[in-house]
Structure 1
Amino acid sequence: METATDGQREIRRTLRDLLGRYARPTPEGYDPALWARMSGELGLARLALPEFALACEETGRALAPSPLLATTVLAAPLVAALGAPAQRAELLPRIAAGELTCALAAPGGSLAHALGLTGDNTTGAWSGDGRAGGVQARPAPGGDGWFLYGEAAQVLDGHSAGLLLVAAHTGGFARSRTLLLLVRTRDAGPGLVRTRHAGLDPTRSPAAVQLRDVPAELLGEDPADPADITRALAAAGRTAAVLLAAEAAGAARGALDGALGHATARERHRLADLHVRVEAARTLTHCAAREPGPGPESGPLALAQALDALRDAAGEAVPPHDADRYGRRATADALLFGPAGRLRARAAERTGLLGPAGEAAA
C-alpha cells in the first residue's frame, strides 16, 4: 500500500478521534449532529475518491451509523448525473453540507442488482419489471408532476431521509419504462408511510416505504432514456463498491486489532494469516480507489475480498460483543450488496471469463 500523505493521515486521525467519541446508534439510526460535522465541517462529499475511501475505512472501523452510504455514496451521484440544473443547484449543496439526507428506493428487492454489482441492470427485474408490485408512476392531472403508488421493502435509511429517489414504472406493462423520481418527504402527505426494520445490523437502517398517491417530481427536466438511468446506476454502483470495500476492510482491521489485543503469543502466530488477508483487502481497495472511473471490475472485486476478510476477522474478534457487532455488519453487507461469490461471478461475466449463465466461456 502506498505511504499515506500528510493530508490523508490528518483525515484518518480526525475521523478516528471524532468517531471514537461520538459514533453511537440512536433511535433515529444515527446522530444528526455528528453527521453535520462529518459532512459539513470535514467535507466528506468534496473529497477525491482515494481520500473518501480512507474516510470510509475509518467509519467502517468504528462501525459508525450514518447516512454516508445512502446519501453521499448512492443518492448524490444520481442527482449529479441525471438532475436538471435547478435540481442540482438546489439539492447538491444541501447534501454536501449535511442538511439533506437521501435514500434510493429500488423496489425490486435487490439493491446490488439495481447498481449492476451482481447482475445486468439493463433488465427490468430489479425494479419490479413493470408487473404487479414495485412502484407505479402516473402523470398528475394537467401534467404538473407525478403520483407514485406502490412500495419498496428494503430502503437503506428510508425511514429518516428528507429526499427519496424512487425507481418507478410508467406506461403500462406493454410499454413500461423505469423512471427516477424525487419525493420530498416533508411534503409527501399521509400517503407516504415509512417503517424502519430492526435489521440484522443496527448500524444499517433498512426501511419499508409505502407510497399511496404520493406527489413526486421527475429527476431531470424530461424523462431520461432508460439506458441513461441504468448507466448512472451502474456508475454509482462501481464507486459504491469501492467505498463499501473500504468500510468492510476498515471493519475487518478493527476486529483484527481487537483480537490481537487479547491474543497470546501462540494466537498471534495463528492470526498472522488473517492479518495478511485483511491487508490484502485494504490494498486492493485503495488500488481500486485510485483507478479513474473506477473500472467496472475493480470495485466489486475489492468488495468481495473485503467482505470475506471481514467475515473471517469477525469470527476472531473479542470480546464476544465485538464478535457479534462485526459479524452482523459482515452478514448485513453481504445480504445487501453481495454475496462475495456473486460479486466475483458478475465481474468474471463482464470480462468474458464466464457466460451469462455463469459457465466458463468457450
Structure 2
Amino acid sequence: MKLVLSTEQQELRAAVRAFLGAASPLPKAREGYDPQVYARLNGELGLSGLIVPEEYGGAGAGLSELAVALEETGAALLPGPFLATAFAAITLGRVPDKELLAGIAEGRVAATVHSAEVSYDGATASGRLPQVLSGMEAGVLVVPAATADGPVLLAVELAGPGVTRTALETLDLTRGQADVVLDGAPARLLGPAPESGVTERMCVALAAEQLGVMRAALDAIVAYAKIRVAFGRYIGSYQGVKHKLADMHAKLEQAESIVRYAAWAADESPADLPEAAALAQAYVGRACFEVARDHLLLHGGIGYTWEHDAHLFYKRAKADEVLLGPPRIHRARLADLLEL
C-alpha cells in the first residue's frame, strides 16, 4: 500500500490546479456554473473521462486519480456538474453503457444520479426525485427502478418529454440542486442495479473533494494570520490562534491519509473498501466542516461578510457533509462492519 502520490498523479494535480487557477479562480465561483469552463476542463484535460474505460474513449484511470482531480476542484469550489458526473461515471462503471460512457468521456454528456427508486413500465419512468445534485445542469439522469426481476438502472434525458425540473434554493451557492418530477418520461434500461461497490466509491470521491475544501480553507486562514494585525501583533503570533491552526492542520493530515487509503482500497483491495469508505465519510465529512467553520471564525468580523469567500467554504463543507448522509450514518455503518 502506497499513500504518497506517484509522479504521474503529482503531474495531474499540478495540471488541474494550474487550469482552475486560470479558468475558474475562487471569485468566479460566485458566478455559478460556466459551461465554457466545464467544456475546457473536459476538452483540454479530459477529466470527465478520467475513470471511463479506454474502450469507451476514457483514460481508464482509477479512483486514486479521480481523487486527485476532485481534491483540486474542491479547493477551487468549482461550480457545475463535475462531481455529479463523476458519481454517474462510477455508477456506470458497474453497469457499462457505451453511449453514456462515450459521451461522458468526450465531455458531451453531463450526468447525475439519484438513489430514490422510480416506477418503470418497460418504456417510461415516473416518480418524484427531490434534491437531484446538479439537476439543472445535467443532461442525463441515472436512476434505479423496481421491476419484477429486481432493481434495475435507467437513463432518462432530463431535457426530454415528461420531465419537469425545478431549481432549488440551496445552502451551497456554488453548486445547485433540483427537484425532478418524471411523468411518463422515456427511459432507457441500462441493466441490473449493482448490489455493492457504487455507494462506497461515491463516498471516497466525495471525501476527496472535502479534502480539497479543507486544504484551501486552511491555506487561506494561514495566509490571513500572517498579515492581519490586532493589538499591534500579527494574529498568527497569538497562542490561541496557533493552537487552533495546529488542530486544523492535524485534521487535514488525518483526512489526507484516510482519503488516500480509501482510494487505494477502491483500486487495489475491494475487500477493504466498505470499511475505508465508511471511515472516509465518518471522519472527513465532519472534519471538513469543522475546518471550514474555524477558518470562518478566525477571520473575525470580515469572515461573516457576504463579500468574503469564507462563507463559500463553510456552505460547501456543510452541503458536502450531508450529501451522502450525515456522519452518524457512516459511523453506524462502520461500527456494523467492524462488529462493534
Q: TM-score, normalised by structure 1?
A: 0.76
* Rounded Cα–Cα distance in structure 1 between residues aligned with 2:18 and 2:244: 30
**CA deviation vs aligned residue, 1:299-348 (integer Å, no higher than 9, x gap):** 22122221222112112223513331111112111222231122111111
* Matched-pair contact (CA < 8 Å) for 2:17–2:72: yes
* Rounded Cα–Cα distance in structure 2 between residues aligned with 1:70 and 1:261: 31
**CA deviation vs aligned residue, 1:244-280 (integer Å, no higher than 9, x gap):** 1111111111111111112222223431122111111
> Residues 62 and 51 from structure 1, CA distance in 2 versus in 1: closer, same or farther, beyond 3 angstroms?
same
The question of 1:77 aligning with 2:86 is answered no
> Residues 212 and 270 from structure 1, CA distance in 2 versus in 1: closer, same or farther, beyond 3 angstroms?
closer
> Residues 270 and 217 from structure 1, CA distance in 2 versus in 1: closer, same or farther, beyond 3 angstroms?
closer
The question of 1:298 aligning with 2:276 is answered yes
State the Cα distance separating 1:25 from its structure 2 match. 4.1
Please tell me the residue identity of whatever aligns with 1:338.
Answer: G
The question of 1:41 aligning with 2:15 is answered no
Please tell me the residue identity of whatever aligns with 2:258.
Answer: L
Structure 1 moving runs of 4+ over 4 Å: none
In the other structure, the counterpart of 2:129 is 152
Please tell me the residue identity of whatever aligns with 1:265.
Answer: S
SS of residue matched to 1:149: strand
Of 81, 89, 112 in structure 2, the residue corresponding to residue 103 of structure 1 is: 112
* Matched-pair contact (CA < 8 Å) for 1:285–1:303: no
Q: Map of 1:273-288 to 2, 5 A cutoff?
A: 273-288=247-262
* Matched-pair contact (CA < 8 Å) for 1:248–1:307: yes
Which residues of structure 2 form unaligned runs of 5+? 51-58, 226-235
Of 144, 157, 165 in structure 2, the residue corresponding to residue 184 of structure 1 is: 157
Please tell me the residue identity of whatever aligns with 2:85.
Answer: T
Paired positions, count: 300
* Rounded Cα–Cα distance in structure 2 between residues aligned with 1:349 and 1:240: 19
* Rounded Cα–Cα distance in structure 1 between residues aligned with 2:250 and 2:127: 47
The question of 1:168 aligning with 2:145 is answered yes
The alignment-based identity, stated in percent, is 37
SS of residue matched to 1:52: helix
* Matched-pair contact (CA < 8 Å) for 1:50–1:290: yes
In the other structure, the counterpart of 1:339 is 326
* Rounded Cα–Cα distance in structure 2 between residues aligned with 1:249 and 1:216: 36
Alpha carbon RMSD of aligned pairs, Å? 2.2
Please tell me the residue identity of whatever aligns with 2:16.
Answer: L
Q: Map of 1:1-362 to 2, 5 A cutoff?
A: 2-23=3-24, 24-25=28-29, 29-44=32-47, 45=50, 46=59, 47-72=61-86, 74-83=87-96, 88-107=97-116, 127=117, 135-139=118-122, 146-170=123-147, 177-186=150-159, 188-189=160-161, 191-220=162-191, 224=192, 229-231=193-195, 234-263=196-225, 264-266=236-238, 267-291=241-265, 292=268, 293=270, 295-317=273-295, 318=299, 319-320=302-303, 321-353=308-340
State the Cα distance separating 1:208 from its structure 2 match. 0.6
Q: TM-score, normalised by structure 2?
A: 0.81
SS of residue matched to 1:91: helix
**CA deviation vs aligned residue, 1:20-57 (integer Å, no higher than 9, x gap):** 23323477x52222222323322322332222211111
* Rounded Cα–Cα distance in structure 1 between residues aligned with 2:335 and 2:242: 35
State the Cα distance separating 1:177 from its structure 2 match. 4.7
* Rounded Cα–Cα distance in structure 2 between residues aligned with 1:79 and 1:3: 28
* Rounded Cα–Cα distance in structure 2 between residues aligned with 1:260 and 1:349: 39
